[in-house]
Amino acid sequence: MLLSQLNRKEKLKFLDLAMHMVSIDGEPTALEKRLLNMMLAEVGEGIVEEYHFALSKDLEETITFFGSENKTVKNIVYLNLLKVGMSDDFYNTLEHHFLEDIRKRFEIDEIKKKQLMRLVYNERDLRERAKRIVTH
């Protein structure tokens, strides 16, 4: 969601964070892989051609990179990490701690976190309503 607004380097760094997010509790699930592929498509053709799903060697450097980015970039990145974390019904402790660490390092307050989470829930609800409408 809104990943197209990031520049090339921010998109690549986001994909690194997303890979760490889905790998934190082991191998990515089929649903997580599908979501990553959708996000990869959203970032654009140029990125698709050069990005390969693999964990970056320096997670800390990737997080630090975003620390100096503007608030909008941080919010877009965090929103999409929330989307990845909330993609399945199993939201585990490791994912929670990872997201909380990112939130604090990005200086995103609790109010903004709740607003971003609401966007993820609203998107999911809209998708479910659309499925019901087209199948009946």
The CATH code for residues 3-135 is 1.10.3680.10
Show me where the domains of the chain are located: 3-135
Q: Are 120 and 79 in contact (CB under 8 A)?
A: yes
* The pLDDT value given to residue 99: 95
Angle ∠(20,22,27) on CA atoms, nearest 5: 105
What is the chain's percent helix, strand, coil content, to nearest 5? 75, 0, 25
Residue 20 confidence (pLDDT) = 87
Average pLDDT over residues 94-113: 95
pTM equals 0.87
**What pLDDT digit, counting tens, does each position of 39-79 carry?**
877 887 777 666 666 666 788 999 999 989 999 999 999 99
- Which contacts qualify for 129-134: CB closer than 8 Å, 24 or more apart? none
For the stretch 77-92, pLDDT in tens is 999 999 988 876 666 7
Closest CA to 23 of 94, 104, 101, 97: 94
Q: Tell me what pLDDT residue 30 has.
A: 79
